[in-house]
Amino acid sequence: MRRTVSVLVAIVAALGALAGLGACSAAPGAAAVPAGAVVIDVRTPAEYAAGHLAGAVNIDIQAADFTARIGKLDRNGQYLLYCRSGSRAGVAKTQMTGMGFTHVTNLGSIDAAAKATGLAVVTG
């Protein structure tokens, strides 16, 4: 019985760690952006102006120059993408990895990205 309980505890701990439940989380407001990473908002300039993550660069995936602007970035750099829902960021990630970028993360929506990074949403 004791062995069964130990095994169950180990399984629950492993599942919790896989789900991110067992990991320490950053304090609220603490930045979780890796040093040197670039946060990219792939929404339109109007959406960006209405509210974006502090320090994020706006490169609109729907703009004609998206591929050219992305192409000027270091393919070995680390990039964190977000949009309104995560959909456009997913498309941007696919395009970037197809261009040879090796460290691209889709953070999802702006709200999820703010939570994941600890960055504030600012306007202007």
Q: Is the pLDDT of residue 93 over 70?
A: yes
Instruction: Give me the CATH number covering residue 112.
Output: 3.40.250.10
Task: Answer for the pair 93, 81: CB distance below 8 angstroms, yes or no.
Answer: yes
Per the domain annotation, does 6 fall within a domain?
Answer: no
Containing H/E element for 5? helix 2-18
Q: Which residue among the candidates 42, 61, 80, 83 is catalytic per the annotation?
A: 83
β-pairing, 103-109 vs 121-122, is unpaired
Residue 16 lies in a domain: no
Q: What is the pLDDT of residues 39-81, one digit of tens each?
A: 999 999 999 999 999 999 999 999 999 999 999 999 999 999 9
83 in catalytic set? yes
- Name the pTM for this structure: 0.75
Answer yes or no: is 95 within a domain: yes
Instruction: Residue 65: give the domain boundaries.
Output: 27-122
Number of domains present in the structure of the chain: 1
In a domain, 71, yes or no: yes
Nearest alpha-carbon partner for 43 in 25, 55, 57: 57
How many Cβ atoms are within 10 Å of 10's Cβ, its own excluded? 10
Q: Using the 8-state DSSP alphabet, how is residue 93 labeled?
A: H
Q: Which residue has the tokens 């600012």?
A: 122
Beta bridge partners of 122: 52
